[in-house]
Amino acid sequence: MSAPLAFINARLLDPATGLDTEGGTVLVVDGKIAAAGADVRPDKGATTIDCRGHCLAPGLVDMRVFLGEPGFEEKETLASAGRAAAAGGITTLVGQPQTDPVMDEPALLSFIMRRAFDTCAVNVVSMAAITKGLEGKEMTEMGLLAEAGAVAFTDGVKAVADAQVMRRALSYATGWNLLVVQHAEEPSLARGGAMNEGEVASRLGLKGIPAVAEVMLLERDLRLAELTGARYHAACLSTGEAVAAMRRAKDRGVRATCGVAAHHFALNENEVGEYRTFAKVTPPLRSEEDRAAVVAAIADGTVDVIVSDHSPQDQESKRQPFPTAEPGIAGLQTLLPLALELVHGKHVRLLDLLAKMTINPARMLGLPSGRLAKGAPADLVLFDLDVPWRISEAGLRSKSKNTPFDGRPVQGRVLRTVVGGETVFDFAAGAA
């Protein structure tokens, strides 16, 4: 048994209960939270950490992360992703199934969970594939994969285009209360596209991906979710029409949720500039009107989850002509500071924002984390809400450093990250 640990003099933030109090304490015993609140006193003999009035919240749960292993270790490894996550205040990573081989067999899922436990500084759970080989044709053994630890089912950045296959997946998932996650983009409309369809794409001579490709597939899926009663999640919405469709579906009582990636509310299509491949993502950066609509949907609660959509790419994959460059941003360390821009810009309250990166994804995936509750894992992030700094490519701990945010001024920095009561990142020490 380890000695008790007390985080004292903190601004405690717990979106699960609405707690926001100054001068609070979190007591940790044997890797779990023993008590949290303004009236908690450290146990005699406890090691104390003075938070100096900074924000102490549940560690972030990032629901959409490409982890690299197995098959793409040149882009990212579990170890390097863990270091970056820890520096970003993320204590749980939710891996995607587009590995090599694809995460469509229980044995592979079990293997990657064991390897993550051995090599990654933070918690790792994984989604499994909806269809074998991510080919969109034949369903995986979803029940067996769930028993092996899959927290949800998705074909990653590939949409399940066949309506009958998606209906069967949703129907099967209903019996097990499984979550089905979709990349909402109609493939035939998006095929060959490099960025958002519109004036900027035309000026640059690039084939565009129309906004309607997103809402078209989303509305089909929402109807199927309504028909089957299944739990459905749209992974990364990027357009005003799509968030409006999600809002209407929720009003009808559909069991649907959605997420957005930080870059879709922090950037618009103009970031592509003169063919900047670091700004190539899927779905693509959209118009300013779409970006503003996404911010509004975060503010009014339509958006349930904010993710990094961490997609590391090596230099060879990005140093290509724009149409052939791989999409993706290395986003683990920039998730929190970019999200805090919404608080500083007075678009959303701090607790409401944190809920979308803690308790909401934790509940959605059936995880015990995301709350400052007695008995919960002591997964915590301590951050300075107000300190200004600039994002630096050189400061990224991911193996790949593909970011369009190099040099961007932000406000709010992670000071310490704790997983199971153990410090995995300490800014003051300069190392995890």
Nearest to 31, CA basis, from 74, 70, 76, 1: 1
DSSP string, 161-183: --HHHHHHHHHHHHHHT-EEEE-
Rounded CA separation 329/402 (Å): 6
Nearest to 237, CA basis, from 275, 171, 182, 179: 182
Nearest to 173, CA basis, from 125, 239, 228: 228
Q: Locate 89 and state its tokens.
A: 């205040």
Rounded CA separation 193/238 (Å): 15
Q: How far is CA 362 from the centre of its chain?
A: 11
Rounded CA separation 425/357 (Å): 19
Rounded CA separation 291/347 (Å): 13
Catalytic residue among 62, 309, 379, 384: 309
Cross-strand partners of 28:
5, 33
Tokens 């609509």 found at: 293
Q: If phi over 0 gives left and psi between -120 and 50 gives alpha, with beta otherwise, what is residue 53?
A: left
Rounded CA separation 327/195 (Å): 10
Assign 3-class secondary structure to 193-261.
Answer: CCEECCHHHHHHCCCEECCHHHHHHHHHHHHHHHHHCCEEEECCCCCHHHHHHHHHHHHCCCCEEEEEE
155 classed as catalytic: no
Collapsed DSSP state (helix, strand, coil) of residue 276: coil
Burial of 137 (0-12, 13-18, 19+ CB in 10 A): exposed
Rounded CA separation 243/240 (Å): 5
Active site residue ranges: 309
